[in-house]
Amino acid sequence: MLTTVLFAAGWSAGWLLPAAGQAAATGSAGVPVPLSVNGVRDLTFGTVFAGTPATISRRDPTRAGRFEIRGFSTEIRLDFLLPEALRSPGGHLLPLVFGPGDADAIPGWSREDTFVFDPRTPLVAVIGRDGLLVVRLGGTVDPAPRQASDSYSATVILTVFYLGT
């Protein structure tokens, strides 16, 4: 049995204003620099077979999810809200699993400083000197032996905020 699965997430992303006692990052003129978080590419599983798990590596150049975070070069916190399953229009669920090594954060200026992490756990990272941090996301779907053949989707939410003092 063939199951067509497309993780066509309407990538949601956002940023939070600093909490009480935290200052927003500022540029050279002391003007606050807003964070920009863009979902560049969806995590796409393509066609999978019932009963056969399918894994997409965070390094996959065409199917891994990708976010680009732009802002002042300082510490930020990344929090993913990850679904436990993909859902079909008919209401069928397809289990989705994330774990250690399914995400990484790459400062735009240095591929050597790639930080691999578990997207289920918040991460403190540094935006690159060029104002860019790339975050890639992989994962695994685990279809049941009699998984309904359908198109499945879910939404991943990435919340990012400055950690300044």
**21 secondary structure, DSSP code:** T
Task: Over range 3-21, report the average pLDDT.
Answer: 36
CATH fold for domain 2-162: Immunoglobulin-like (2.60.40)
Tens digit of each residue's pLDDT (9 = 90 or more) over 147-165 = 999 999 999 999 998 887 4
Do 47 and 3 meet the contact criterion of CB atoms below 8 Å apart? yes
Chain-centroid distance of CA 47 in Å reads 21
As a whole number of angstroms, the distance between CA 78 and CA 71 comes to: 13
Whole-model pTM?
Answer: 0.82
Answer for the pair 102, 119: CB distance below 8 angstroms, yes or no: yes
Q: Is the pLDDT confidence value at 12 over 60? A: no
